[in-house]
A = this chain, B = another copy of it.
């Protein structure tokens, strides 16, 4: 028995998110199905980030246990031949049997992409959120700096998400502008349910002049569930990568 770690990329447009559902297509569901068929045993993957319906990923992580004799690093290519074009394994490798994708010290990086113009750009519309109200990039960039550090993100989480603590640490948060695109890139040690989308929605509110950049500081000072936002649409969000800090230390 060995444990295999997959780095998984997908266009989330046609999936009801990561987590397996009885009827709808999900990333977890299709991985279980194609891995079981490839390895000829019942495979159940455990995902690092259970992304929502419509959210994309370049570097989500999943692990599974298998008795296969196929070398860990060869599974990616074999699995890709069975997967549809909108799900592509980026790498596969054997990891220690106690490696769990969720219960570890991680750094997750997300990007949220906005297309800001009078009319939408259909070429990239599947992976950006279109905003036709002019956004003030400088204000958004200034505001993004308030996210840095350790804060109670309760205001940036929607109702009902069960979690022990709502304190998270943000290591990197920057907003860049390329032509009509405005992209927020954020790295943290974890994110509450809908947190990145509410951070993006908050920056949009600030960028269009409805709120001041200092609003973010106020939300941290007086946290109240769901007070930030709004929750920006899923299609603009991509999980870029997940770093496992212990695994990296092991590598030294």
Contact = CB atoms under 8 A, between A and B. Distances in A.
Interface of A: 9-11, 56-58, 76, 80, 85-91, 118-127, 238
A87 B122 contact: yes
Contact of A58 (B10, B57, B91, B123): B123
30 contacts: A9-B119, A9-B120, A9-B121, A9-B122, A9-B123, A10-B122, A11-B122, A11-B125, A56-B123, A57-B123, A58-B121, A58-B123, A85-B120, A85-B125, A86-B122, A86-B125, A87-B122, A88-B119, A88-B121, A88-B122, A89-B119, A90-B118, A91-B118, A91-B119, A123-B126, A123-B127, A123-B238, A124-B124, A124-B127, A126-B126
Given A9-B120, A91-B118, A124-B127, 9 more contacts: A9-B119, A9-B122, A9-B123, A10-B122, A58-B121, A86-B125, A91-B119, A123-B238, A126-B126
Contacts of A56: 122-123
Contacts of A121: 9, 58, 88
B90 A123 contact: no
Contacts of A10: 122-123
A122 B80 CA distance: 12
A196 to B, nearest CB: 16
Contacts of A76: 119
Contacts of A238: 123
Nearest to A130: B88
Nearest to A123: B56
Nearest to A127: B123
Nearest to A240: B123
A63 B12 CA distance: 36
Nearest to A86: B122
A121 B121 CA distance: 20
